[in-house]
Structure formats: structure tokens, C-alpha cells
Amino acid sequence: MDRVFSIKNDLAENRLFLRRIYVAMLFIGLMSAGLVVRLMYLQIVGHEHYATLAKENSIKLTPVPPTRGIIYDRNGRILAENTPSYSLELIPEQIEDMEDTLRRLQALFGLPDEKIEQFHRQRKREKRFNSVVLLPAMTDEELAKFAVSMPFFPGVEIKTHQVRHYPYYELASHVVGYVGRINETELKELPMPEYQGATHMGKLGIEKTYETQLHGTTGYAEIETNVQGRALNTLNEVKPVPGANLYLTLDIDLQKTAYDALDFYNGAVVAIDIKTGGVLVFVSRPGFDPNPFVVGIPSEDYKALNESENQPLYNRALRGLYPPGSTIKPFIALAGLEYDKVRAPQGLYCPGYYTLPGVDHRYRDWRRGGHGTVDMIRAITESCDVYFYRLAQMLGIQKMHDFLQQFGFGEKTGIDLYGEVAGLLPSPAWKQAKRKQRWYEGETLITGIGQGYHQVTPVQLARATATLANHGQVVTPFLVDKIVTAQGVQKSPEQPARIIPLKAQNLDPIVAGMINVVHSASGTAKRIGYGIPYQIAGKTGTAQVFGIKQGAKYNESQIDFKLRDNALFVAFAPADDPKIAVAVVIEHGGHGGSVAAPIAGKVIKQYLQNLHEN
């Protein structure tokens, strides 16, 4: 066998070894230089930035939400307050078996799966040492159940919070509103410095309109923390500024009187202080309990409210649209006088119907046999439709539109609540723009008795009635009378006065006719005028919900309740020195004199009696 011998090249190996040493030293040198440069940057150039970050790692600014302001009525009754509430909360790091704990808690309290899923979603957003709410706003029964079982639930505790509470429940729900949890969309739009740490905000009513004032100013605390973010010590604290307290013009006792008087009817009642515009009553029935919305109303309960045929979430006083019916007649009569189309003593004959020249269609009066010859005062007193058909034809739709517009029909009143609608004051221009149709003379006639396209809101009708009582001085309805903070009291600013230029002598027959509505033997609301030492000026109204064929007779007892006429009534009192104006609208109430007028009568009598006693 041949042997193979290798010759070792020591010189080449030495050179390779040296090259490797040089490369390693160069690499080490570059790395060292990089470390030196980085160290110099951290110590000199970036010192201030990284020192701040290091400080923030140990000191956290924790927001301290302010206490929300209280809402009172005009007499100091609390309408919205903050009350202690108890919540069941879990601290994940203290619970060994979370699923078992949740399963036992679910069985103990009968919690739906939705609650457990909500807990898991919230838990993912929190650190393990932070508590997570499972059951907010615990009832006394739930507190008692957990008190007995507490030793078997390590890591589960009860905490106390301030929660908004509405002691009058549905009675003032549409005017006071409610607060609810801030959602993600709202969170993006809110000013973050003011809402850091806040969980709720106003969603409806006064709570929403005056959110900024009620919320207050957020404070903060400087908290020393460890590397995990756990709080160790409070270094400094800037206290929050509580929200302002609001005093409304609303009288909750008067509100209850109006709400209860509506009984089983759906509808609205609005009463206004004639001199100031302060809203005394703002009722929309049915209402709803706002308290469940604060802690989070269950989806099935909200669905039931939203789908109810009675629409309890619908603010009828602010957004309800109704034909004004005969409540518009005093304004049409005043327009006739102001435009010199008729004189108050002038008699017009009513045979029970009215026809346009060359047209067979009969526009019927509510009294089948007619009223005979009537002047303006009697026409208002007995609500003669034929008189106002003729007067409407004399005026024409444009003059009626322009005159009624001065009283605020067809526009928002400016009340300090979100969501108000303007109603509809028809005109030829409106019909052409919206319906691409011309205006017909028959539409002018029915507009003169408050039917057709004309639609008003209850608050708008109350404002117009107050303006009439004020001899043309337009008032703006408002609810917040004063805002009280630690710095003092801020009164609601007075609205600039607007006067409708009316002739004083033209108002006399209008008011006389409205007084007769309540106090004469033939008045349509005579039932409410007995036994009082002053006079009420009022006007009833009955507005059709559906049309009746020519020659057919309306028989309330034979038609479905939902197809019955709406009942309306407007009034002010005392007639010689007006202090309060009221508008009542009752859906499917039938007759304004028998259903709506007594409600207004109760409100007026109670308010004026209270004024006299005080």
C-alpha cells in the first residue's frame, strides 16, 4: 500500500489566522465606536427626551372626572342627581380560575351570556391588576346574595360609584333627558382633555343641550408607578371642578298635573310664562324611565320601547307634527282685520256648507244645519267653519302665510332643546318646490280652518298663543333659568324682543271671542269656565286624521280609535292680564272642548292659584 504524505504550509496558515484577527478586531472596533456614539447621543443629544420618558415610566397623570351638576325645577325640586351605586368587579390577577368564577357568578345572579361576553371584551382592554366591571348598578337583592357568598369569590369585590338618577322617572324624561355611556364615535369628537376618564355624557334633553356646563372640568393626579404600571403613591393632585347646577323654569308639580290629566291618551301639553317665555310645563306622554339608559339598557328592553306602537321615546311636544285645526282661527280672524278684509261686526251667513264659484264640491261646517248669520266674535266662539272658509278666500293663501309666519308658524321656536322641528306653513311656492304642483283655491279654504298641509308642534302652538296674549310681542321659550357655579349665578340671557305691528283695536274682538269660548253658554269649552274669579281666553280645535267622503257623516263611535280626530286646545289667562299660555294636543282625543280643554283648565287653575298664594 502506498502512503500519502501532506506537506504543512505554516506561512499560509499564519497569514489566514492574522487576517481573521484583523477582521475580528475591525468588527469589535466598529461595534465599540457605535456604542460610544450611541452613548454620547443618549447622554448629550437625547438626554432631555429620554429623561422625560423615564420620568413618565414612573409618574403617570391619572384623570379625575368631575362631579356632574344637579338639575332642579323652579322650586328647587331635584330632577337629576348623583347617587351612590354599587358594582361587582373582578381583579383578574387575583383569580386563579377565571372561567369557573364567571360560571358560578352567572349562576348566582342569573346573568345572560351577553353580560359575560361584554366582560371579556372589557377585560382585554385592561391590565391584569385593574378591576373590570361585571355587574353595574347592583340591586339590594344582588348585594345581599353576594354578601353571603363573598368568601367563596377571591378577587371579586363590590365598589361604590356615583351614578346619575332621575327621581321623577317618566314624568320629565323628554325634557330632562338622560346620560349614557360614551361610545367610540362620540369619543373621537369630544375634547379629550375634558373627557379623560369620563364614561358618560348627556344623550337627550337638557342633559345633552347643557352638557358642557353640567360636565365640569376634569382634574388629575400624579401617580408614581412601578415598571408594570401599578400605582405606588400619589405625588400631587389637581382637584376637578364640579359641573354647574341648573335651575329650570319647569314646575314639576304642574308637570305632574298635566301628565296625569292626559290619562290613557297619547299627546303633549306645553305651558309658557307669557312675560318671560319660561316653560312651565313640557309634557310628552307616554314617557319612559330614563334610569336604565344610564347603566346600559338591555337590548330587548330598548327594542320593546323602540317598537312600541305608543312610541314612548318620541318627544311629541318638541317633534310632534299636527294640523292645528280650529286653534288657528283666532289668527286667521286677526289677519282679516289687519289686512282690512273684514270688520268684526260684519255678519256672514253660514248655511252649513261653503262652495267655490262654479264648483259643486261642498266644504262642510262642523254643524250640519249651519250657524246662520255670524259675526267675528260669534264665529270664534262657536268655531264656525263657513265663516273662516269665506275669510280665507278673501285673504288668499299668500297673505295667510305671511301673517301666520310672523307668529312663528313654520319655523323653530328656538327652545333650548336639541331636535326641534319647524312644522310646515304651506304656500304656493312651497307646494311648487316640494310637490311640483300648483296651488288650488280649495286648499286655501281648508288652510283657513287649520287643515290641509299646515302642521304645527305643541311648543310652537304655545309660543304663538303667548304672542297673541302679549299683543304681538314674540317670546322665545326656554327651560334653563339660571346656571349656578362656585363663581356665582348666571341668568339665561334675554332674547332680543320682536314685536309684530298689530293694531290694538283689532285684538279686542279676537280676545272677546276666545273668552266666550270658555265663559259663554254657546262656547265650545264652557265646561272649564265655572267657579273661577278670572276669565280664560281659549280656542278649541278638532283636526281630522283622515279625510271623509263628500256627503258622508263622521261617527266617532263607529271608527277605529287610531282614526279618530285629534283634539286640541289653546288658552291664556287671566284674559285681562295674561300670565300663562297653554297648548294641549291629544292624539285621537276627538273633541277639543271635552278632552283637551279640561287639561289646560287644570294647569291654568293650579298655576294661578300658586301665584296667588305666593
Strands 78-90 and 71-72, bridge-based pairing? antiparallel
Alpha helices in 263-351 (DSSP H): 291-295, 299-307, 316-319, 329-338
Question: In this structure, what C-alpha cell is assigned to residue 125?
Answer: 382592554
Contact 339, 404 (CB under 8 A): no
CA-to-CA distance for 348 and 594, rounded, in angstroms? 27
Contact 393, 445 (CB under 8 A): yes
| E strand or H helix at 576 | none
Alpha-carbon distances, residue 333 vs 182, 316, 386, 401, 504 (angstroms): 51, 28, 13, 13, 14
**Closest CA relative to residue 538, chosen from 490, 474, 604, 487:** 604
Ramachandran assignment for 91, one of left (phi > 0), alpha (psi -120 to 50 degrees), beta (any other): beta
Tell me phi and psi for residue 209, to 5 degrees: -60, -40
Contact 337, 511 (CB under 8 A): no
Instruction: Give the contacts of 213 (CB within 8 A, at least 6 positions apart).
Output: 69, 243, 244, 246, 483
DSSP assignment of 109-159 equals HT--HHHHHHHHHHHHTS-TTS-EEEE-S--HHHHHHHHHHGGG-TTEEEE
Tell me phi and psi for residue 574, to 5 degrees: -60, 150
**Closest CA relative to residue 254, chosen from 240, 273, 227:** 273
- Residue 97: CB atoms within 10 A of its CB come to 9
Alpha-carbon distances, residue 67 vs 71, 201, 416, 457 (angstroms): 13, 12, 23, 36
Cis-peptide, bond into residue 574, ω within 30° of zero: yes
CA-to-CA distance for 90 and 460, rounded, in angstroms? 51
Instruction: Give the contacts of 400 (CB within 8 A, at least 6 positions apart).
Output: 332, 335, 392, 444, 447, 448
Tell me phi and psi for residue 202, to 5 degrees: -65, 135
Instruction: Give the contacts of 370 (CB within 8 A, at least 6 positions apart).
Output: 350, 351, 352, 353, 386
Give the 3-state secondary structure of residue 543.
strand
Please return the burial class of 485, using the count of CB atoms within 10 Å of its CB with bins 0-12, 13-18 and 19+: middle
| Catalytic residue annotation | 326
CA-to-CA distance for 60 and 225, rounded, in angstroms? 7
Q: Cell 405606588, residue?
A: 232
